[in-house]
């Protein structure tokens, strides 16, 4: 069974045109999507993605009775949708913050990974990830994980406050 996020991602990918950003899809592309995803599933997910600002407003109209109609000239990604589905877009660069990390910090992080009580496979994966994606990417992922773990994040904030007092 396909997950909801996979369905929505497939819709965004189908609407994505890297050569002509935000260009509406063709009728044949829409028909192909309906066949692949299902008419009702497609309609309600397009409505959701439209409400999220990822697909142009007015791409679909839903009636109170559950009937829907597509407005083909509006069946396109917004700039937000284009940036979301294309990690290398300029919008993603404009909406990012650059963190400068010195070489000694990178060395210390690699040393901490080698000393950590995790499997050798995990250590190898992390070191390879740092070399491929850069330490900034690792730090970003660490921050995301830390924020999602409220208990650890609260302790970190408390320790941070104490260290700067």
Q: Is the dihedral of CA 119, 120, 125, 126 positive or negative?
A: positive
| 17 class by beta-carbon count within 10 Å (0-12 exposed, 13-18 middle, 19+ buried) | middle
Question: Is the pTM for the entire model greater than 0.75?
Answer: no
Distance CA 91, CA 21 (A): 12
The predicted pLDDT at position 133 comes to 80
* pLDDT above 70 coverage of the chain, percent: 92
**pLDDT at residue 92 is higher than 60:** no
Give 66's pLDDT tier (boundaries 50, 70, 90): confident
**pLDDT at residue 84 is higher than 80:** yes
The predicted pLDDT at position 158 comes to 85
Most confident range, picked from 3-7, 36-40, 135-139, 150-154: 36-40
């Amino acid at each position: 069974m396909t997950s909801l996020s996979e369905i929505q991602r497939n819709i965004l990918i189908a609407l994505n045109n890297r050569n002509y950003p935000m260009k509406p899809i063709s009728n044949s592309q829409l028909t192909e999507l309906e066949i692949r995803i299902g008419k009702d599933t497609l309609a309600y997910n397009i409505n959701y993605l439209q409400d999220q600002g990822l697909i142009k407003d007015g791409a679909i109209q839903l009636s109170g009775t559950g009937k829907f109609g597509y407005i083909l000239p509006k069946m396109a990604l917004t700039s937000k949708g284009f940036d979301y589905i294309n990690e290398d877009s300029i919008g993603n660069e404009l909406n990012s913050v650059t963190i400068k990390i010195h070489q000694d910090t990178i060395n210390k992080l690699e040393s901490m990974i080698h000393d950590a009580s995790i499997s050798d496979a995990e250590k190898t994966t992390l070191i390879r990830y740092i070399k491929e994606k850069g330490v900034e990417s690792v730090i970003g992922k660490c921050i995301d994980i830390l924020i999602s773990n409220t208990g650890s994040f609260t302790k970190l904030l408390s320790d941070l406050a104490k260290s700067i007092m």
